[in-house]
Amino acid sequence: MAEVFKKYGISDSTQDFLGHAVALYPDDTYIQKNCKESIEKMQLYTESIGRYGDSPFLYPIYGLGGLPEAFSRLCAIHGGTYMLNTKVDEVTFDEAGKVNGIRVGDDIATAPLVICDPSYVKKDILEKTG
């Protein structure tokens, strides 16, 4: 990224603005890394301006309530199913032991991926990922 800034004669203060306010890096380590990720983050910022108002950020405009709303909208657009405030009776598994959905009463919703709170499943099948 340092080479890109140098090639285009970007001043130090503008570099700080682009790296921290636009690409949202918490420190300057991105300057010595490949520029692809930084440029993609900056492009996302510019594409987001005007999408939901004058700010590229959803949170400051709509507050915390806008985050699940945005998630559910994107989920529906991409063919996903979301179930909010639903009492899940069971997480279901296929013959190989892989998660394949959930059961709510007599209804079963199948999916290649289930994202849920750990309290919905038995502790012996949890996989910590982050």
User: 14: Cβ–Cβ under 8 A, 6 or more apart, which residues?
Assistant: none
Contact 15, 5 (CB under 8 A): yes
Inform me whether the pLDDT recorded for 128 exceeds 80: no
Query: In the numeric block, which tokens belong to residue 22?
Result: 């636009």
Cα 31 to Cα 85: distance, rounded to the nearest angstrom = 43
Contact 113, 100 (CB under 8 A): no
* pLDDT in the model for residue 59: 64
| Domains of the chain with bracketed CATH | 2-77 (1.10.405.10), 90-120 (no CATH)
Cβ atoms within 10 Å, residue 52:
14
Closest CA to 4 of 37, 47, 50: 37
Q: How far apart are the first and last CA of the chain?
A: 28
- Per-residue pLDDT of 79-103, as tens digits, reads 887 777 788 888 898 999 888 999 9
Confidence of residue 61 (pLDDT cuts 50, 70, 90): low
- Per-residue pLDDT of 1-55, as tens digits, reads 999 999 999 999 999 999 999 999 999 999 999 999 999 999 999 988 878 777 7
